[in-house]
Amino acid sequence: MKVAILGYGTVGGGVATVLEQNEKKIAQYLGEDMTLAHILDLRTFPGDRNEDLVTDDFEKILADESVRVICEAMGGLHPAYEFTKKALDKGISVCTSNKELVSTHGPELVQLAKDRHCSYLFEASVGGGIPLLRPFSTTLMHERITRVTGVLNGTTNYILTRMEEGDAFETALLRAQQKGYAEKDPTADIEGIDACRKTAILASLAGGAYVSPDEIPTEGITGITSVDFDYARTNGYAIRLIGQVTLTGGATGALVAPFLVPEEHPLAGVHDVFNACIVHGNMLGNVMFFGPGAGDKATASAVVSDMLDAALHDGSHVFVNLTNVPALRMDDEAMMNRFFVRVDETAKNAAVRAFGEDITFMEARSVRGEWAFITPKISEQAFRDALHSLDEVRGYLRVLK
């Protein structure tokens, strides 16, 4: 079984390592060797053990009839989209970690794979190495999924963990960059865009109807300060960037935002670059998936699991529950959360007028000159309306149940 890798970076390099180090286990399971035949990259890799396999010509890989599975680890939309389409069109399965491509064009690519009797698989696109996505298309298919709640971005979770320990945002970001977690341009991570793409994929799989990342309200972590952590610590909360999916009455609601998470909640115990996801099924109740959300070998392990699945089903299509049917979007009136709000101390009465008498005031050890409170459960729409009626808002976070 010949395979190729597109993109010899962190994930592509990891896939080469997994194929090499677990060669025997892979051959045992597959019944034959899985042999790396080509690597596509514009760069050259003098001295690398796979130096001779590297080409900058995608057509050369396509022309090799013996290649049956391709790992696309290029990232970005273009030319990953075009290369994936060409490969699937030829009946070659493609396995990817590219959440941008999957969340944007996934349904079309899955349909093309189905038409050409091959597979488009993307386990590594959400939750790094955690075997999180496959259950949505296999063991959970009979369940009515009602909620998916996850810590889905390793970089921001690392930053929030450092801030919890007293680092300022800028220091924590710098440390994340030094450790190789955050990109030089960290926008996609810190603004929640990466988590949004992952949430869109989860929402689409959970409901069996497509949710575009463009439809998901997204807030990142750049507005969080040491003041928020002071309140969180004083009142027994952690702060986590959460991807939240709610499915009721045939509609899907999703959002990405930083939440206060009670210390006893399992997601509060997810630190550093780890990810976790709680899935609620109507018969099953809650199940939680936890593990390394990033990292070369962990993510590559998930890609290789897909490559094996595709190889074992060479000539046929491996089902994934990602369809072209657009999801019915949940009304903002139906999306409910509790909110932690900080206002100037002069705005206490206005806050009570806007949010009602049921708000719970909160204190922080070393914060003066402001009022902070948690609202009862209200809709996203009601929150926005109330917020707009207040002049002196210093910040807000949602609160996880």
Catalytic sites, residue numbers: 198
Distance between CA atoms of 13 and 40, rounded to whole angstroms? Answer: 11
Q: Are 286 and 280 in contact (CB under 8 A)?
A: yes
- 128 or 253, CB closer to ligand HSE? 128
The interaxial angle of helices 10-21 and 23-30, nearest 10 deg, is 70
In whole angstroms, how close is the CB of 150 to ligand HSE at the nearest point? Answer: 11
- Measured from the CB atom, the residue of 99 and 265 that comes closer to ligand HSE is 99
The answer to whether the beta carbons of residues 138 and 241 sit under 8 Å apart is no
Q: How many residues bind ligand HSE (CB under 6 A)?
A: 9
Site mask, ligand HSE, residues 242-281, x = CB under 6 A? ----------------------------------------
CB of 323: closest distance to ligand HSE in angstroms?
Answer: 24
Strand pairing class (67-72; 2-6):
parallel
Task: Using the structure block, give the residue that is written with the tokens 């309200």.
Answer: 217
Residue 100 as a binder of ligand HSE (CB under 6 A): the answer is no
56 burial level (CB within 10 Å; 0-12, 13-18, 19+): exposed
Instruction: Give me the phi and psi of 30, to 5 degrees please.
Output: -80, -25
Q: Which is nearer to ligand HSE, 156 or 235 (CB)?
A: 156
Which of 322, 325, 324, 307 lies closest to 118, judged by CA?
Answer: 307
Per-residue x/- track, 285-314, ligand HSE (CB under 6 A): --------xx--------------------
CB of 216 to ligand HSE, least distance (A): 16
By DSSP bridging, strand 274-281 and strand 285-292 are antiparallel
What residues from 142 to 181 belong to the interface with ligand HSE (CB under 6 A)?
A: 153-155, 181
The DSSP symbol for 366 reads T
CB nearer to ligand HSE: give 243 or 281: 243
| 195 token code pair | 């988590």
Task: Tell me whether residue 97 or residue 235 sits nearer to ligand HSE (CB atom).
Answer: 97
Q: Segment 176-215, which members bind ligand HSE (CB under 6 A)?
A: 181, 189, 194
In terms of CB distance, is 96 or 246 closer to ligand HSE? Answer: 96
Residue with nearest beta carbon to ligand HSE? 155
β-strands 54-55, 35-40 pairing: parallel
Q: How far is the CB of 127 from ligand HSE (least distance, A)?
A: 8
Phi, psi of 172 (to 5 degrees): -65, -40
Q: Minimum CB separation from ligand HSE for residue 157, in Å?
A: 8
The distance of closest approach from Cβ of residue 275 to ligand HSE in the complex, given in angstroms and rounded to an integer, is 7
Q: Which two tokens stand for residue 211?
A: 């949710």
- The full length of the chain comes to 401
Residue 342 Cβ vs ligand HSE, minimum distance, rounded to whole Å: 28
* 128 is an interface residue for ligand HSE by CB under 6 A: yes
Residues 6+ apart with CB under 8 A from 67: 2, 3, 4, 37, 38, 61, 92
CB-based contacts of 169, cutoff 8 Å, min separation 6: 159, 163, 221, 222, 224, 225
Q: Which is nearer to ligand HSE, 107 or 293 (CB)?
A: 293
Q: Write out the residues near ligand HSE by the rule CB under 6 A.
A: 128, 153-155, 181, 189, 194, 293-294
